[in-house]
Amino acid sequence: METTPASIVGLPDLMHAVRVEARGIMEENKGDYVAEHRAVLARLTAAEVIGDNEAETLLGLYKLGYEAGEPKGNAQRAYFETRDVYAKMLAANKPSPVALVLASAALGSFEVSVDPGGTTTVSIARVSYGSSMAGIGAGLGTLLGGVAGGVLGGAIGGLLGGMIDDKKGKGKT
């Protein structure tokens, strides 16, 4: 079996790359979470793995989740709006697989629970990392493996972001 060192990327290398990328984006945007997400989407658009319209839709989904996490936000309304947008993206003509992963991560940032009495509660972390990490993961994955790498990277990033949200636990609405 022939392999070249350039085709093998180790987990520590990927972890370092994600940290460097995330820190750079955070420093550029000085704590503005929406601007950070816009920067991630701009990089994915420049890499031609999502379209301009998809980037705008994804930014709208991020804002929807971000606002739902605010103290006076309405997580239940935002969840259903996010679900509707995601369904439209799924039904669209030739949607980008990377855009679908990011929209899925936005939807996955919400937690829906039903108590035994039948009451449904929808919550989201005050600042959810699911969508942001999905975007960063998709960007790095795209660089390493094209669209397929972007899909896998986005899925892994979304999962890790969701784990961060669960670990923070506090500030859910």
Q: Rounded CA gap, 69 and 27, in Å?
A: 23
Tell me which residues of the chain have a pLDDT lower than 70: 1-11, 14-15, 18, 126-128, 130, 143-144, 162-173
pTM of the predicted protein model: 0.77
Residue 44 lies in a domain: yes
In a domain, 3, yes or no: no
Domain-located, residue 64: yes
How many domains, the chain? 1
Domain that holds residue 162: 14-168
Cβ contact 62:56 at 8 Å: no
pLDDT for residue 37 = 84
pLDDT of residue 58: 94
Residue 93: Cβ within 10 Å count: 4
How many whole angstroms separate alpha carbon 91 and alpha carbon 144?
A: 28
